[in-house]
Structure 1
Amino acid sequence: MNIFNWLDLLFLLMLIIFLYFLKQSLTKENKLIDDPFNKSKKAYLIYPNKLIRQCGISVAGFWLWYWSVKWCSALVLVIIAIELSFDLWIIISAGIVSFLLMDMYLLINRSNRRRRINLSLVFFINLLIVFLKSGLSLSQAFRKAAQFGLQKDNPLAAELELIAYELDAGRDRTAAFDNLSVRTGVEALNKLSVIIKAGIEVGSPVGDGLQSLADFLRLQQDQQLTSRINRKALESTLPMAMVCFPMFFVLVFFPAGQQISEIMKLLGDIL
């Protein structure tokens, strides 16, 4: 093996190790309570802490894996491109794309996490209304609704456990619910926090507002489901036409054409 082959193997091994530990760090939503990210923390431009936290990842301990994976993947692809004697613009493009792969993965992960939270919100809000009407405090209602209405691996359950912990610790309720919407980036949770903050400030029950929000979210989900069904129906029209048209041609046009051909042949014999 020449030196490039050894370097390729070394970088690939390092990348596999980094990706393994990265996967382990991505699956620890239950440890978010140890790092309660909020908007009061200083944001750094070169480290997307807000994006990382909205993926359900602890911001404090993730920076090493973030930069290691970015640089290692870029180096591996650049070295492979150089070894394969690609043009300079291909080498530069490969380095840039591989350097940004981590950010693309985080964006996809955040989108999937938000989707799971949105799908769980309607049932959670209905449970929250029930527990609030039964006389439980706000933190107890959040904890009970998360416990009985959500699976343990649901990202919303981890966020609700964190906000219940903050409320029990005496944190200002307005700040706690502001941080909830910042940590998730979910618009529906922002509306939920606005309703609860308004109820706290004026001292009125929040049950009616939460019920209206639940009805609105349910209607929104129904509309999205209908739109998805219509889109799938349109997408399936072309394949169905491509399959059905040859069958229609064989069953209808081919026998008719054959009969016309026989008639023309008979006419030719007569004439």
Structure 2
Amino acid sequence: MNYLEGLRAKNASGETISGYKKDLDMINRFLEEKYNGLVMLEDIQTQDLEDYLLMLSNERNYQPASVNRHLCTMRSFYNYAVKRGWTTFHAAAPIDAMKAPKKERTFINVEEYHELVEAIDHPIIKIIVQFLFFTGLRITECLTLTLDDVDLVSRMIHVKHGKGDKERKVPLSGKLVPLLIDYKENIRPFVDSDRFFALAKTGKVSDVYVNRILHETTEKLGWEKVVTCHVLRHSFASNLVKNNVHVVHIQKLLGHSDLKTTSRYVHANQEQLAEAISVL
């Protein structure tokens, strides 16, 4: 599809392209079932798209944020279609997004981090969890790092394929460096792979596997808190904020192009708010 090729040309991630394709396939199936046949772009009305979003909400019980994501896909597609001259009618333009309640993002503090790491039995997953907590990398960025990307002498990580295919350099914490040296010398299996994090069987590690071990470990600990790789990224940012690191520096470390995105990671609990007020 030309639209998906257009996304690739804009350096959209594979995950974004896959998500948009899935959404568009769902919309197309809905419209074909509604009209019992092939539906042309010029035939689609705003009401058709509103009916689809209503179905997601009422029949499939999608949360507002998920419904809004489908609306975002529609708008993006129509923006492209209008620019290309496929249609002059932007059927998604009049539709308002649903109001979605803002969820307080989950994060773990330093004490919880130590408890979690201590409970992980798998040595390679243990070091990956430690790495994520101390670097704030996205899990895909972490697991695609090569041996050359992690410089333990200069204490620097070179992220070559960040979101939007952007590059950045992230300094390594002094607490993390000896753990990585031990991993590289004593834990990492001897495999024909240039991945820094590698399993003996595959020469790489999947994000699904890391999240599964995290889930099993938190269950073993009896935690109600859900901890994923992304929660570790948020924890990195939240703990930097707690230690008064400027949000612009956090933005650079996380690889965000927009400061608004970083601000969503900034977590302030009631205790911190009370401390803030006490300085007045």
TM-score range, shorter chain: under 0.3
TM-score (norm 1): 0.21
Q: Highest CA radius of gyration, 1 or 2? A: 1
- Greater helix fraction, Structure 1 or Structure 2: 1
- TM-score normalised over the length of structure 2: 0.21
